[in-house]
């Protein structure tokens, strides 16, 4: 059904008519959509202000919709016609003047014409949808202004302004809490904890950012959900500042989501129109410029100076201003990141102390001294078949000394400390979150948030429902609402489960491939003729394998993130919240397995599945499983953790975040035909909505949270093997905060201010990781390090109660005549003498015993001690964690008192208001009674002389 305002494509005629059509088309494209009292053509020169305002300079632009503009076919044909030479034009005229009996030749390729017609059909369909949607927006009370004369070619903008009545109506529907005229004094707590907190606040005053200098911490406004009937409770003296820019944009976004476009049955609001390409982007505007010297002071510029600058890295974040500008969801992320970084300071200090303790005691460590003592003259069995020969234990001296730096008695203390640290961090964050909920007036937001999001379905879900409705059009009873059931989603669920299992198996296969690389490269280096290649084989193999693992992890992270999004789209979640939670869960599982599978292998499996000399375990034919060094696998685990953690932070987190935006900017400059000066001059003339369109779109906070969650796992899960992990995490986060701040302020469009009272599913993931960390560290100390074997030897087998003789106790004997065929060394005389007995690390019976090479009783004693340690460690730490959790209340006492006080003040305010209303109503009723005698009908003429009796109302 065509509308009166539709543009029809004219039949090709002579050039004069085409020129007229082109002129009409250009005139139509410059028109603005109708508004109540303003159009773009009525731009007044009285308001030359360039900024986030309409053309009148008064009405603020609260939201912007961008769309693609495509020239009509007539314009393209006209341009191609005028580009032809005179010969072709004459030929066309001669062809057109042929006899009517001759068929007319087409002026262009029919296939190209049909393609252009299809393109025009789609573009016209999008334009019709935009017109209908914009008319519906006008009916809601929003004021619109179209700008198609911008300096960005092919892009048109629709600027949206919400007038006062719309803001009030939507604020009431959204139940936004706004400050009332009532203020009260916030009394500080009198207990010891609050006094300590106030003392720390005074001491750290120079570290606080210089924002909100005029705000008094001891005074707070009483907030209440906005109501048009109770407008007198709120301070409306300055209506322009009552709703800030963040609140205005969120209100407009709610209207955009709710406004329907009936041209497409499944379209519901701006989300569907964006998904179908009717609009290319939608975003609120930044407050103003920050780089210009004479730029006006605004929140964005203040955030850039006090938050996004590297010169203020030592200061606290202005969380209140971040929330004011970006909304509660972004504010909570940076508040959580700040608390996490702050809590890393004591963990880093303790980790450095543990590491320094290992450095200080390395010369006093008896096992490493025995390994480094050449007088022991211990000959070890070959590390690989044929290519490797016998070797002296003294050559592992450097590895043994280095292992003591991370494998010493202080490691056990540090593991217990980090388990309690994780609990304290979670409790501290819960209290901080509750304090922010109180300050930001978010208490009681949960139910309102559910009501707010329950009707906003995703565009993909609406599309699938429409398809199902069309399929079941005749079989569905009238009035029954069609929705997607588990049966409809079952193929997607099965695909997701199978795909996730397949990707996890791919990760395991890649780790196994790196294991084969280590085995083969070690054998190749042993047979190498280059002395430099054979000088330090272990270090070369460990380092290169760890770097290969890092590269694979970084590549797979990007692939897994894309696959997780694809699988989540396949499931067609109903709401954005459900989509986000499912995407987070899948991405976390895949990235966690990708990052920690090599580490888990080194910690718990390497060196366990080896076998013994004469009966080794082989994989893929002749590949013999690799062994740990004599000092254990803890050193290799430490190298893997160090390279993975530093590599992910430096390359994936920091270099990618800095390099990719700069690379995109450089590519845009190379594509542009303007030089630097011309581009700089052009950027100065661009309006705010045009500048913001050139920025990158804001997608979500999920990547920011994800990298921090993986880092939290690195810090807590295997901290027993790498006590310097908290220090590296702290240094990274100090840079990360400023990097993210600069990205949000300068490189991304302003996100929609989303309300949230917590960090959502991320808290559950953090809590789960902190629980798993206790078990993992117990197993690392028990099975990966030599802590338990040392204790067992010292208290059960040592003749003098010291560690002397521990190395000899851990080595078993092997008769070289028991080698399997073709597995003995090719160069048996490598050490200069014939070897008959070699040693290997294990607890087995010697070859001269009645049960040669069987597991000895020492093995079973140590295994029992290891299992007992795991059980005791886990239960003790869990008990201590639960005690700390019970000891620290989730809600600070002063906050609970203030919330209770606010409720009392609110009740008093409403009782006072009701009392005033009753008095006013009584006075009004009293006055009405006083005026009643004036309405008494006049007496008959004979009674007029009698005096009228009035009631004394005074």
At 202, the pLDDT band (50, 70, 90 cuts) reads: confident
426 in a structural domain: yes
3-state SS class at 151: coil
Task: Select the more confidently predicted residue: 443 or 545.
Answer: 545
Whether residue 938 is contained in a domain is answered as no
pLDDT in tens, 156-177: 899 999 999 999 999 888 888 8
Q: Please give the mean pLDDT across all residues of the chain.
A: 78
pLDDT value at 583 more than 90: yes
Residue 86 domain flag: no
Question: Taking 70 as the threshold, does the pLDDT of residue 142 lie above it?
Answer: yes
- Can you give 538-571 as a three-state secondary structure string? HHHHHHHHHHHHHHHHHHHHHHHHHHHHHHHHHH
Contact call for residues 785 and 632 (beta carbons, < 8 A): yes
| Residue 843 falls inside a structural domain | yes
- Give the per-residue pLDDT at 335: 94
* DSSP code of residue 405: T
Of 119-133, 256-270, 290-304, 725-739, which gets the smallest average pLDDT? 256-270
Rounded to an integer, the average pLDDT of 147-161 is 85
Count of helix runs (H) and strand runs (E) in the chain:
32, 14
Q: Cα 718 to chain center, whole Å? A: 24
User: Does residue 468 belong to any structural domain of this protein?
Assistant: no
How do residues 872-926 score in pLDDT, each as one tens digit?
998 998 898 888 888 888 787 778 888 888 888 888 887 887 777 777 777 766 6
Q: Is residue 951 part of a domain?
A: no
671-698: average pLDDT: 73
pLDDT at position 566: 93
pLDDT band at 274 (very low <50, low <70, confident <90, very high): confident
Give the angle subtended at the CA of 247 by the CAs of 243 and 248, to the nearest 5°: 75
- pLDDT of 678: 60
Residue 290: Cβ-neighbour burial (10 angstroms; 0-12, 13-18, 19+): middle
pLDDT at 81 over 80: no
- pLDDT for 263 equals 63
| DSSP conformation letters of 315-355 | SPP-HHHHHHHH-HHHHHHHHHHHHHHHHHHHHHHHHHHHH
Longest distance between any two alpha carbons in the chain, whole Å: 154
Regarding predicted confidence, which is higher, 632 or 790? 790
Q: How confident is the model at residue 114 (pLDDT cuts 50, 70, 90)?
A: low
Residue 68, beta-bridge partner list? 155
Residue 832: which pLDDT band, with cuts at 50, 70 and 90?
Answer: confident
Q: How confident is the model at residue 272 (pLDDT cuts 50, 70, 90)?
A: confident
Lowest-confidence range among 50-64, 119-133, 138-152, 530-544?
530-544
Taking 90 as the threshold, does the pLDDT of residue 344 lie above it?
A: yes
Distance (Å, whole) CA 953 – CA 586: 78
For residues 579, 580, 583, 586, the Cα torsion angle rounded to the nearest 10 degrees is -110
Q: Are 886 and 879 in contact (CB under 8 A)?
A: no
Residue 25 near residue 74, CB atoms below 8 Å:
yes
**Is 627 contained in some domain?**
no
CA dist., res. 540 & res. 544, Å (int):
6
Average pLDDT score over residue span 926-932: 60
Tokens 């000088």 identify what position? Answer: 535
Q: How many domains does the chain have?
A: 1
CA nearest neighbour of 407 among 805, 721, 636: 721
Joined tokens for residue 751: 């996100």
Q: What gap in Å lies between CA 571 and CA 582, rounded to an integer?
A: 9
Residue 273's pLDDT band, with cuts at 50, 70 and 90, is confident
Residue 2 banded pLDDT, cuts 50, 70, 90: very low
What average pLDDT score do residues 859-869 get? 93
Question: What Cα–Cα distance (Å) separates residue 482 from each residue in 461, 473, 478, 573, 901?
Answer: 11, 10, 10, 15, 48
Residue 350 is part of which domain span? 293-446+634-669+698-891
Q: Tens of pLDDT along 760-773?
A: 899 999 999 998 99
How many whole angstroms separate alpha carbon 601 and alpha carbon 669? 47
CA 210 – CA 302 distance, rounded (Å):
9
pLDDT tens figures, 550-568: 899 989 988 999 999 999 9
Residue 338 lies in a domain: yes
The Cα 580–Cα 177 span in angstroms is: 26
Residues comprising the chain, all counted: 954
Q: What is the pLDDT of residues 23-50, one digit of tens each?
A: 344 443 434 444 443 333 443 333 334 4
Query: What is the structure's pLDDT at 813?
Result: 92
pLDDT of residue 191: 65
């Amino acid at each position: 059904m065509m509308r009166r305002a539709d543009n029809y494509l004219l039949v090709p005629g002579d050039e004069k008519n085409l020129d007229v059509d082109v002129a009409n088309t250009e005139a139509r494209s410059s028109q603005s959509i109708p508004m109540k009292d303003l159009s773009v053509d009525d731009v007044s020169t009285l308001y030359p202000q360039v900024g986030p305002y309409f053309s009148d300079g008064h009405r603020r632009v609260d939201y912007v919709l961008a769309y693609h503009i495509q020239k009509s076919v007539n314009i393209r044909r006209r341009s191609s016609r005028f580009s032809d030479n005179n010969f072709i034009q004459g030929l066309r005229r001669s062809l057109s003047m042929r006899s009517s009996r001759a068929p007319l030749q087409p002026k262009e390729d029919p296939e190209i014409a049909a393609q252009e017609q299809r393109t025009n059909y789609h573009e016209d369909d999008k334009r019709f949808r935009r017109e209908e949607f914009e008319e519906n927006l006008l009916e809601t009370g929003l004021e619109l202004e179209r700008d198609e004369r911008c300096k960005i070619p092919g892009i048109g903008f629709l600027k949206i302004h919400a007038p006062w009545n719309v803001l009030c109506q939507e604020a009431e529907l959204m139940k936004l809490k706004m400050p009332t005229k009532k203020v009260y004094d916030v009394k500080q707590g009198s207990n010891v904890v609050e006094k300590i907190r106030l003392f720390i606040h005074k001491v750290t005053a120079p570290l606080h950012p210089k924002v909100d200098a005029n705000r008094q911490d001891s005074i707070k406004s009483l907030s209440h959900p906005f109501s048009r009937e109770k407008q007198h409770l709120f301070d409306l003296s300055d209506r322009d500042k009552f709703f800030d820019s963040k609140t205005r944009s969120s209100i407009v976004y709610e209207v955009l989501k709710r406004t329907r476009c009936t041209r497409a049955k499944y379209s519901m609001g701006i989300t569907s129109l964006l998904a179908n390409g009717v609009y290319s982007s939608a975003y609120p505007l930044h407050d103003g410029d920050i780089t210009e010297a004479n730029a006006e002071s605004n929140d964005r510029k203040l955030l850039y100076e006090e938050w996004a600058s590297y010169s203020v890295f030592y200061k606290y974040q202005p969380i209140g201003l971040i929330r004011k500008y970006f909304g509660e969801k972004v504010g909570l992320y940076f508040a959580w990141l700040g608390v996490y970084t702050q809590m890393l300071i004591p963990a880093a200090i303790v980790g450095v102390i543990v590491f320094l303790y290992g450095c200080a005691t390395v010369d006093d460590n008896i096992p490493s001294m025995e390994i480094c003592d050449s007088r022991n003259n211990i000959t070890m069995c070959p590390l690989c078949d044929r290519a490797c020969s016998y070797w002296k234990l003294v050559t592992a001296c450097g590895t043994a000394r280095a292992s003591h730096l991370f494998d010493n008695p202080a490691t056990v203390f540090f593991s217990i400390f980090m388990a309690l640290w994780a609990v304290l961090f979670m409790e501290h964050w819960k209290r901080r979150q509750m304090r922010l909920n109180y300050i930001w007036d978010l208490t009681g937001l949960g139910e309102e948030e559910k009501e707010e999001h329950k009707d906003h379905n995703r565009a993909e879900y609406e599309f699938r429902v429409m398809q199902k409705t069309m399929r079941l059009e005749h079989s569905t009873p009238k009035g029954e609402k069609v929705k997607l059931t588990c049966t409809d989603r079952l193929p997607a669920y099965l695909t997701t489960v199978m795909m996730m299992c397949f990707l996890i198996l791919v990760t395991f296969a890649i780790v196994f491939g790196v294991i084969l690389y280590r085995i083969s490269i070690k054998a190749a280096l042993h047979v190498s003729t280059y002395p430099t290649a054979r000088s330090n084989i272990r270090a070369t193999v460990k380092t290169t394998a760890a770097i290969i693992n890092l590269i694979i992890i970084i590549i797979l992270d990007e692939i897994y993130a894309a696959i997780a999004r694809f699988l989540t789209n396949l499931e067609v979640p109903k709401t954005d919240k459900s989509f986000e939670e499912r995407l987070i869960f899948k991405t976390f599982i895949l990235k966690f397995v990708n990052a920690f599978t090599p580490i888990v292998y080194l910690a718990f499996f390497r060196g366990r599945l080896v076998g013994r000399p004469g009966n080794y375990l082989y994989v893929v034919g002749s590949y013999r499983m690799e062994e740990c060094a004599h000092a254990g696998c803890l050193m290799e685990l430490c190298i893997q953790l160090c390279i993975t953690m530093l590599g992910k932070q430096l390359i994936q987190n920091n270099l990618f975040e800095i390099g990719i935006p700069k690379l995109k900017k450089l590519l845009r400059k190379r594509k542009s035909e303007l030089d630097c000066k011309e581009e700089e001059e052009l950027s100065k003339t661009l309006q705010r909505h045009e500048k913001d369109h050139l920025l990158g779109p804001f997608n979500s906070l999920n990547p920011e949270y994800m990298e921090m969650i993986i880092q939290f796992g690195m810090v807590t899960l295997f901290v027993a093997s790498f006590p310097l992990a908290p220090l590296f995490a702290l240094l990274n986060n100090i840079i990360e905060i400023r990097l993210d701040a600069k990205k949000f302020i300068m490189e991304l469009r302003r996100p929609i201010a989303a309300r949230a009272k917590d960090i959502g599913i991320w808290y559950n993931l953090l809590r789960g990781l902190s629980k798993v960390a206790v078990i993992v560290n117990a197993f690392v100390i028990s099975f990966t390090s030599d802590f338990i074997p040392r204790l067992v030897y010292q208290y059960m087998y040592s003749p003098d109660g010291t560690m002397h003789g521990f190395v000899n106790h851990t080595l078993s004997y092997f008769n070289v005549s028991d080698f399997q065929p073709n597995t003995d060394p090719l160069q048996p005389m490598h050490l200069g003498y014939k070897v008959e007995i070699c040693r290997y690390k294990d607890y087995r019976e010697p070859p001269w015993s009645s049960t040669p090479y069987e597991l000895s009783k020492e093995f079973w004693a140590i295994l029992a001690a290891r299992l007992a340690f795991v059980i005791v460690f886990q239960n003790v730490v869990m008990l201590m964690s639960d005690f700390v959790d019970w000891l620290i209340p989730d809600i600070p006492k002063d906050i609970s008192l203030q919330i209770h006080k606010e409720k009392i003040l609110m009740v008093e305010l409403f009782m006072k208001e009701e009392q005033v209303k009753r008095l006013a109503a009584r006075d009004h009723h009293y006055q009405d009674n006083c005026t009643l005698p004036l309405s008494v009908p006049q007496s008959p003429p004979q009674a007029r002389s009698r005096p009228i009796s009035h009631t004394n109302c005074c």
